[in-house]
């Protein structure tokens, strides 16, 4: 693919001091809350399910059978703290809808699988998972992921003392680079690509910036999707534009929503989980 797809940056001109990565860390309590699990353990015995902001309400008494129909769910945000409560929320699609994500993440991701219930969720998942077959993932691990990790390690392996900040020099960047290569994107776009990804998942505290980043990614991806429809390759975007299930195919907006969801997933969750594992 020609290196012609460059993300627009003029909407953030004059804001060179803004660091979306550091801002996201601050909002997540990085460096402040080192270990949240003791706090969860304190809450769990008396509040298996709790409406946030109402410290006195024990929604489900400890030791009782969990009956969500007895809970006033007319408004507010609820947190499920116990294993049983979490399991029921995840498995009971009739009582609990995913549409709540539309109010926040839907504004920056579009209508994505995050906010879909059945049967829409089943159909959409069947379409996008065609790009993530077991065979494809085994090939990616063998021919892509290992190479990316080795490239990062090669950058500091011969350093005197062989010391490196593994979070900053390895786990922070390699997941989004892997995803960018799976999508067949130009390497020159990676720095801005990574920045936009972090800005998108900052929707909870920087909504205007997140929306600008989302729009930039939408325009960027639409241009690539149009090219892949004319000249498909073996990358993930090419598979998505050709995917079909029960006579249904993904349109450009649906593909863009999935890609905008996939990119932040690579910018945050794998980086943080692999960083935590590297300290154990």
H/E run at residue 248? strand 248-249
Structure confidence at residue 242 (pLDDT): 94
Structure confidence at residue 157 (pLDDT): 87
3-state secondary structure of 51: strand
Q: What is the pLDDT of residues 149-170, one digit of tens each?
A: 899 889 888 888 778 888 778 8
Residue-wise burial string across 158-192, b where 16 or more C-beta atoms lie within 10 A, e elsewhere: eeeeeeeebbeebbbbbbbbbbbbbbbbeeebeeb
Name, in order, each residue with C-beta under 8 angstroms of 125's C-beta and a sequence gap of 6 or more: 113
Structure confidence at residue 216 (pLDDT): 93
Report the top-level CATH class of 10-28+98-278.
mainly alpha
Name, in order, each residue with C-beta under 8 angstroms of 103's C-beta and a sequence gap of 6 or more: none
Q: What is the pLDDT of residues 238-262, one digit of tens each?
A: 999 999 999 999 999 999 999 988 8
Q: Give me 183's structure tokens.
A: 């999508």
Residue 36: CB atoms within 10 Å: 9
Domain ranges in the chain? 10-28+98-278
Phi-psi group of 235: left, alpha or beta (phi > 0 → left; psi -120 to 50 → alpha; rest → beta)? beta
Tens of each residue's pLDDT in the chain, 280 residues: 334 343 344 444 345 567 766 776 666 666 666 677 887 888 888 778 777 665 545 444 444 454 544 455 555 567 888 888 888 888 887 778 888 788 777 888 889 888 899 999 999 999 999 999 899 999 998 889 899 989 988 988 888 877 888 877 888 778 888 888 899 988 888 888 878 887 887 777 788 888 999 999 999 999 999 999 999 998 999 999 999 999 999 999 999 999 988 876 666 666 667 766 655 4
User: Could you give the residue ranges of the DSSP H alpha helices within the chain?
Assistant: 20-27, 37-43, 83-91, 106-109, 120-128, 134-140, 146-154, 166, 174-182, 190-200, 207-230, 236-242, 252-267, 269-278
Nearest to 129 by CA among 230, 262, 265, 271: 262
Nearest to 244 by CA among 259, 254, 256: 254
């Amino acid at each position: 693919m020609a290196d012609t797809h460059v993300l627009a940056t003029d909407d953030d001109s004059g804001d060179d001091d803004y660091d979306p990565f550091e801002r996201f860390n601050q909002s997540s309590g990085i460096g402040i809350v080192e270990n949240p699990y003791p706090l969860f353990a304190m809450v769990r015995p008396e509040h298996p399910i709790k409406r946030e902001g109402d410290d006195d309400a024990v929604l489900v008494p400890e030791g009782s059978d969990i009956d969500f129909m007895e809970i006033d769910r007319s408004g507010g945000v609820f947190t499920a703290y116990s294993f049983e409560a979490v399991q029921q929320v995840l498995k009971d699609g009739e009582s609990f809808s995913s549409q709540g994500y539309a109010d926040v993440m839907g504004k920056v991701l579009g209508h994505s699988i995050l906010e879909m219930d059945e049967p829409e969720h089943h159909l959409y998942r069947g379409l996008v998972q065609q790009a993530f077959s077991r065979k494809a993932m085994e090939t990616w691990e063998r021919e892509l992921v290992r190479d990316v990790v080795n490239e990062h390690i090669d950058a500091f392996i011969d350093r005197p003392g062989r010391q490196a900040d593994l979070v900053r020099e390895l786990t922070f960047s390699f997941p989004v680079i892997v995803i960018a290569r799976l999508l067949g994107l130009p390497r020159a776009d990676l720095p801005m690509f990574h920045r936009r990804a972090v800005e998108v998942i900052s929707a909870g505290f920087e909504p205007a910036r997140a929306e600008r980043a989302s729009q930039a990614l939408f325009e960027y991806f639409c241009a690539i999707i149009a090219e892949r429809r004319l000249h498909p390759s073996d990358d993930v975007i090419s598979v998505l534009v050709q995917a079909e299930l029960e006579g249904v195919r993904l349109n450009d907006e649906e593909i863009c929503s999935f890609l905008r969801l996939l990119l932040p997933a690579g910018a945050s969750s794998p980086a943080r989980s692999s960083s935590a594992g590297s300290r154990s």
